[in-house]
Each structure stands twice: as structure tokens, then as C-alpha cells.
């Protein structure tokens, strides 16, 4: 990494799998990897203050270029000193490029070689998002890690469509790299290629030649079967640089995180812990807990025993009461619990990798979740 203040260190690889223990240093703080990034799409992790988010153990947050460009606008955020002071978060921030909206807002989007033209989901007004514009917005936001604009397509897709999106992703990545000028921000390239191993390898190798400071695996967790997602990760990570961070975008369930760590991934983000928390579901070592269920009406037990947080002692009965009564405190407390659970899972994974016991930790967690797990990791080159 050429930018001052940024450094990536691969500290250890688990002896029995591809799991990596690494560290990403930024001017705004050190990120111990593997890590999970809470999603703050609009400059907020829904329902929580940034102090509460920090208390869950989060080291870095994610914001979204498309949404922040619409509201309040990149110019406003820049006038306020950037996204960090605007949302009162002094630690690192990663911003998505807006590429996911090419997929999620496909009916409102027209894609050409120049870029994408959106119809705002708020008022229908037109918005153009080219590689250059995406870079400009992210530089105005002042994030520490910026993502290049990529072309994500719906799966399943024909080989021709995958090849077309892949080639455009590579061309757009080069344009993003060439117009990036902010020394206090690094860029990650995004590897596409659908579920096709050859396309993934080609994209990884061509993006690798562009020498980005980090790389992401994009285009997964969009409806494909879990087995296909895991196979795609396993066929992609061997072609990613070992000396740079690896980020799996938009994933996912706790078991998905461990499956990906086993295959050599370092960074994750997903709305699942916050969204599920707002809807009454808590993640635990014994599987998801649906607190709206009547079985918890008079349950004096906490969500999980031996869990460290300021609210871990509260009973399931009380938490259920909050949801049934429509009190906003219920979603807040479960969001805190779920984010704390994810951060604890990442910390435990880091410790297991350091001890060359990741596969044992992996199997223990899967037994607790009641899920089948393979005893060995896939072949990694």
C-alpha cells in the first residue's frame, strides 16, 4: 500500500485451513481481521448511536455512495467535514460504490459503457453514476476505503451476460483507479464472474494486475444456493493476492462468515444482524432465537448465558414484552445484541486461527447451531 498511514499485515494462516489472521492499519485506526462491518447505509446504523456501535466491538463501519449522494448529498457531507464528523464516528469507514444498486434497482437503471443512469427511489429524479462520479462522491464523503464501481448482475445468468459484465467491471475498475486522487483513502477492486470459476479467475487476475490495495468478492449472496456461494469463494480466493485484504461483500449469516473465513476471506458486511434484530430475532450459539414467540412469555433466562454486554442480563420475557408492546427499545437492544454477537464471533475466530484450531472452533459452532459441517477445508492453492 503506497498511501501513507495504510498497512496490511498477514500475521498467520491456520495450519489446517485457509483461515487468515491479519491486520489492516489505517490513519483512523487498526482493524483486526477477520472482521465484520456493521452497515450504516445512510450514515447511521439504524437505531444506535455511534458510541453504542463502538461498544459492540465494531472497528469499522460501511456507508453507501448511492444513498448518501441522494440524501443528504455528497456536497453537504463534504461541507460538514466528511462522513466521520458528520456521523460522529472517528474510526475507519468503508463506502460501497453504488454498484449494488445497479442490481437492486435494476428496473430503475439503464447501464451503458459510460456508467449507469438511475431513477431515484425517493422522487424519481435522474442520477448518473459513472466510475468517475462514484470515485468523486466517495472522495467527498472522505471514507478510508472506497470501492470501485462494478457491474453486478442477477444470477443465474448466461455465459455471455457474465462475460459482458465481467469485462465492464474490469474496464470500470481501471477508470476508478486512474481518477482516484485522495491520499487518505485506499481503493478496493471488486471481483465478479457469477458462479463461473474461469470468469472469477480471469477477473481476479486482471484486477490483480491493476494493483489495488485490497480486493473484494462481489456478486454473491444474491439468491444462489449456499453450496454454490462457498464453491465460488473457494475457486476465487486462490487467485487473490495473499498480501492484501480480502472482502466478501454482503455476507451474511454467522455460518456463512465462518465458511468464508475457512476459505481465506478477511472482511464482511451484511444488514442481517441489524435487520433481524429490529424484527425480533437474536443470534446465539444455539441458533437464531425468535423472541416474539409465546414460549418466551415468562422465560427468565437471558438471550445467551456467559454473554458480555451491558444488557446481556435482561430476560427473554422482558425483551419479548418490548416487541409485543411496540416499544422502540426492543429493536435497539436486539440490534446491540446481534452486533455484539457478530463481533464476538469474529474475535473468537481470530483467536482460533492464532492457535491453529480454527477447524475445531468451526465444528463447535456448527454443532451449536445444529448445522452440518465438513471436517476439513477445501483444497487451497
Q: Which residues are catalytic?
A: 96, 269
**Which grid coordinates belong to 323?**
416487541
User: How far is the C-alpha of 308 from the C-alpha of 272, rounded, in Å?
Assistant: 21
> Dihedrals φ, ψ of 62, to 5°?
-115, 135
| Pairing, β 93-96 against β 145-147 | parallel
In the β-sheet with 116-119, what is the strand arrangement from edge to edge?
A: 109-111, 116-119, 126-129
User: How far is the C-alpha of 362 from the C-alpha of 349, rounded, in Å?
Assistant: 8
**Which grid coordinates belong to 374?**
465438513
User: How far is the C-alpha of 250 from the C-alpha of 100, rounded, in Å?
Assistant: 9
* Contact indicator for 226, 191 with CB cutoff of 8 Å: no
Q: Nearest 5°: CA angle at 299, between 294 and 301?
A: 140
Amino acid at each position: 500500500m503506497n498511501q501513507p498511514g495504510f498497512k496490511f499485515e498477514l500475521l498467520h494462516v491456520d495450519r489446517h485451513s485457509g483461515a487468515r489472521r491479519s491486520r489492516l492499519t489505517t490513519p483512523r485506526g487498526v482493524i483486526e481481521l477477520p472482521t465484520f462491518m456493521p452497515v450504516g447505509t445512510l450514515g447511521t446504523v439504524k437505531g444506535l448511536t455511534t458510541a453504542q456501535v463502538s461498544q459492540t466491538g465494531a472497528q469499522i463501519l460501511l456507508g453507501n455512495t448511492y444513498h448518501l449522494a441522494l440524501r443528504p448529498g455528497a456536497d453537504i457531507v463534504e461541507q460538514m467535514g466528511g462522513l466521520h464528523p458528520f456521523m460522529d464516528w472517528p474510526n475507519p469507514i468503508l463506502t460501497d460504490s453504488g454498484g449494488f444498486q445497479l442490481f437492486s434497482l435494476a428496473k430503475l437503471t439503464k447501464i451503458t459503457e459510460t456508467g449507469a443512469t438511475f431513477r431515484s427511489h425517493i422522487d424519481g429524479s435522474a442520477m448518473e453514476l459513472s466510475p468517475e462520479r462514484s470515485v468523486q462522491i466517495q472522495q467527498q464523503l472522505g471514507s478510508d476505503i472506497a470501492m470501485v464501481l462494478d457491474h453486478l448482475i442477477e444470477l443465474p445468468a448466461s455465459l455471455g451476460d457474465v462475460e459482458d459484465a465481467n469485462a465492464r467491471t474490469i474496464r470500470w475498475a481501471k477508470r476508478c483507479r486512474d481518477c482516484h486522487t485522495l491520499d487518505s483513502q485506499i481503493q478496493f477492486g471488486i471481483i465478479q464472474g457469477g458462479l463461473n470459476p474461469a470468469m472469477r479467475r480471469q477477473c481476479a487476475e486482471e484486477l490483480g494486475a491493476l494493483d489495488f490495495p485490497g480486493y473484494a468478492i462481489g456478486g454473491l449472496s444474491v439468491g444462489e444456493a449456499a453450496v454454490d456461494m462457498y464453491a465460488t469463494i473457494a475457486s476465487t480466493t486462490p487467485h487473490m493476492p495473499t498480501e492484501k485484504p480480502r472482502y466478501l461483500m454482503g455476507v451474511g449469516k454467522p455460518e456463512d462468515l465462518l465458511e468464508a473465513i475457512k476459505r481465506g476471506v478477511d472482511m464482511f458486511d451484511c444488514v442481517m444482524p441489524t435487520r433481524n434484530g429490529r424484527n425480533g430475532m437474536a443470534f446465539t450459539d444455539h441458533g437464531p432465537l425468535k423472541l416474539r414467540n409465546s414460549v418466551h412469555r415468562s422465560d427468565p433466562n437471558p438471550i445467551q448465558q456467559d454473554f458480555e454486554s451491558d444488557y446481556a442480563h435482561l430476560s427473554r420475557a422482558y425483551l419479548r414484552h418490548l416487541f409485543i408492546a411496540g416499544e422502540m427499545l426492543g429493536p435497539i437492544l436486539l440490534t446491540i445484541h446481534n452486533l455484539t454477537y457478530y463481533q464476538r464471533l469474529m474475535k473468537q475466530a481470530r483467536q482460533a486461527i492464532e492457535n491453529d484450531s480454527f477447524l475445531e472452533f468451526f465444528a463447535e459452532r456448527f454443532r451449536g447451531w445444529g448445522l452440518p459441517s465438513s471436517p476439513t477445508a477445501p483444497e487451497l492453492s
